[in-house]
Chains A and B, each alone.
Chain A
Amino acid sequence: MSTRSHRRPPFLLLAPFFAVLALFWLVPLARGVLISLQTDTLFGDAAFAGLANYRALAADARFAHALRNTVLYCAMVLAAVLPVSLALAHLLRRVWPGFRGPLQFCLLLPGLTPPLVLALLYLMVFHGPQGLLNKIFLQPFGLPNLDWIGDPRLIKFSLVLLMLWRWTGFMTLIFLSGLEGVPRAYHDAARIEGASAWQRLRLVTLPVMRPVTAFAAAFLLIDTFVLFEGAYVLLGGSGGTQDAGLLLVSYGYFTAFTLGNFGSAAAMSFTALPLLLVALFALLASGRPRSGRDTRKDRDGTGAAPVSTGTTGGEVRP
């Protein structure tokens, strides 16, 4: 049989997938681009407006505020969820194997729960003076009630807690898989060299888990960036008090459905898209294994020599 006929079946088998992708992704994407170039309101005919919507966004202080909030919020979520998940994964590895399965299931539950349901539960926990958090953890100790969702100083923090609740379990399992994939020999070698637990984490575990961490971070970044259900239930689809919780998705929703300005909302989405792509690219690129020995410039506190991590030219492999 010829080489060309060998190549044909895989492309034919993939064709339905690409057809569906084109129909449900490319076509709406193209339509979205078109809408962003029009003055497209709820009623009336859409008129071509060129880059007017994009120019208006450049002068829109509320859009800039939403963008800043979104970037800050994404950074806070990554900074909160990833370390906690990694720590939990480490702890989970030390748990008696019989308990590990049920614990893993419990960790997965928030991730399996529909985000809308989670947000409603969250509302009960953080709701006003009678919310569970105030009633159980603050009032009995004589501490003043906190307005978790109404106080602009706490809104972002509350949204971060929602993501921490939702994704920590899932990320923990991802990290657990990554930790299981770190060759034991690396840790043994590091231990022999006199490396402490912290040094083994920093110089062996984390570098080897770089691709896993990058994947987890990218996954989390995408979900955080497009978070809607949480903000919708907690803040009514807006930014909350003083727009403290205004995110790009919330502002896009407000622009489309309250102002009836679909063109501007579409322009918002496409303005934010390059930022997200750059961030994702940077994250995924950081996850690529590096070539060469993973050496340190300075000796560490123990005076031990830098940890060597490979036997094949020094390249670190998971």
Chain B
Amino acid sequence: MKKPAVSFLSVTLAAVVFSAAAAFAKPLQFWVYSQKDAQYYSDMVALYNKKTGAKFEAEFKAYGYAEMPDKLALAVKSGINMPDIVQFDEIFFSLYLKDEVPFLDLTDRIAKGPLKSGMLPQRFGVFSWKNRIYGVPQSTSTVVLWYREDLFREAGISPNDLRTWEGFEQAAQKIRTGSRHMLAMDWSYLPMLVRQRGYDLYNKDGVPLADSAVIVETWNRLAGWIRDGVSFMPGQGGIFSPQFFSTSVAANGVMSIIGPDWYGLDILQNMDPERKGRWRAMPLPVWTDSKSKGRRNTSMFSGQGLVIFKKSKQTEAAWKFVEWVMSDMDANAERYLQGNAFTPFRPAWTDLRYAHPEPYFGNQILTELLMELAPKSPPGMQSPAHALIVNFLREQYYNSTMNDENMPPEKAYSEIKATLRKMGYIK
């Protein structure tokens, strides 16, 4: 009888000792969104050590876009296996703004280094809260119109026809095939186009839905595009889902998509390799009405950046790496060349490695367009309600407002606002 008990205790003791030993030897825990990102940052750790002589060690864990916030929430809640650095999407970053922000305040650190003057200033806003910066963005997230040059040519549409949204709507009339549409659209178009008009889903203090009239008007315009056949809504997952590419895109049913730089560089290239050479990029058509501020031909949407947890035991080592990877010329060039994102660190734009024709985009020099548009992109803002509003739009309301006449944008907007007020996000 005593033997099993002794064996059990021995095994348990061995496990505890092993775990403790493993904990002491742990390298910095770095969570990223994909294997591709893990490969990039792993390469950059090696380059960082080589260039600076540091002995920086990082262990990478790649989680999917939707899985990462859940894993992180569980790690934070339990305090077990928490990461040190996270490559975080700015939408999910907002989940952590309701209480004390758990990320390292980087404001003073940034002020002392090259990022202060080098980074595109409007990009810091997506990882800032109450005038403090908590993350460093890895892309400009400059929004362009990605279009199929071959389908445009077939329909007799020239990019010059699309200087304004009115011109875009007129050009859409040339598309007569029932299964083909000028534009594939999802919920992300509402924040992109509201921002293009000089407004946002929240104000600079993070109060959501402050610019009601413009938001509803833009929303109605987008609903009109569905009614008039200018655009269509893909199913669940929107323009980001593999099913969208394997069905509508593969069937040549989509002539253009509005999206940020990483949409073309990452998602288009990976999800639609068969149509290499047929996609191009151009500035967005502009709004010509009096309510829209300026005639901005671009916008900004989402994007990821690096944040460091306050409770990390290696905050200084983590920060040194983050500052280096975001400001080093080689690191920034590699981020673009490996198909991830176009850097918001402007000194890197002079690097000739960016100025090459892109075979996937029909040998267009994409960076020329992005460098022209990025400084014009609207400032990023944050709000604790950001993730919630995205959830309401993406999962609950947006599809309905496009297809159900009993749920016009005004009604959806009112319901969202009422819910946010009830939850205390709006006073």
Contacts and interface: CB of A to CB of B under 8 A. Distances in A.
A239 B394 CA distance: 11
Contacts of A254: 391
A42 B96 contact: yes
- A41, A130, A147, A242, most chain B CB atoms within 10 A: A130
B247 A42 contact: no
Interface string B61-98: 00000100110010011000000000000000001101
B243 A124 contact: yes
B95 A258 contact: yes
A127 B423 CA distance: 33
- B66, B98, B391, B395, most chain A CB atoms within 10 A: B395
A123 B236 contact: yes
A129 interface: yes
Given A128-B235, A150-B403, A43 B96 contact: yes
Given A131-B247, A260-B98, A239 B233 contact: no
A255 to B, nearest CB: 11
A149 interface: yes
B399 A150 contact: yes
B99 interface: yes
A129 B99 contact: no
- A43, A123, A149, A239, most chain B CB atoms within 10 A: A43
Contacts of A243: 396
Contacts of B69: 257
Given A127-B236, A131-B247, A258-B388, A42 B77 contact: yes
Main secondary structure, interface of B, reads helix
A123 to B, nearest CB: 6
Nearest to A243: B396
A259 B387 CA distance: 9
A237 B92 CA distance: 15
Given A131-B235, A258-B387, A259-B388, A239 B396 contact: yes
A41 B99 contact: yes
A130 B247 contact: yes
Contacts of B395: 235-240
B407 interface: yes
B73 A260 contact: yes
Nearest to B98: A260
Contacts of B362: none
B273 to A, nearest CB: 19
A151 interface: yes
Contacts of A32: none
B70 to A, nearest CB: 5
Given A42-B99, A128-B243, A241 B396 contact: yes
B179 interface: yes
A167 interface: no
Contacts, number: 107
Interface residues of B, number: 40
A34 B193 CA distance: 45
B232 A129 contact: yes
Interface in B270-316: none
B294 to A, nearest CB: 34
Given A131-B247, A235-B236, A259-B388, A44 B399 contact: no
Interface in B382-427: 387-388, 391, 394-397, 399-400, 403-404, 407, 423
A238 B66 CA distance: 13
A152 interface: yes
B21 interface: no
Nearest to A150: B399
A235 B241 CA distance: 13
A170 B77 CA distance: 38
Nearest to A19: B8
Contact of B235 (A42, A123, A256): A123
B121 interface: no
B396 A150 contact: no
A130 B396 contact: no
A127 B251 CA distance: 14
B100 A149 contact: no
A150 B236 CA distance: 7
A148 B117 CA distance: 51
Nearest to A234: B236
Ranked 4 nearest A-B pairs via Cβ = A130-B247, A238-B395, A128-B235, A127-B235
Interface of A: 41-44, 123-124, 126-131, 147, 149-152, 233-243, 254, 256-260, 262
11 contacts: A42-B76, A42-B98, A42-B99, A43-B99, A123-B237, A123-B241, A126-B235, A128-B234, A131-B243, A236-B395, A256-B73
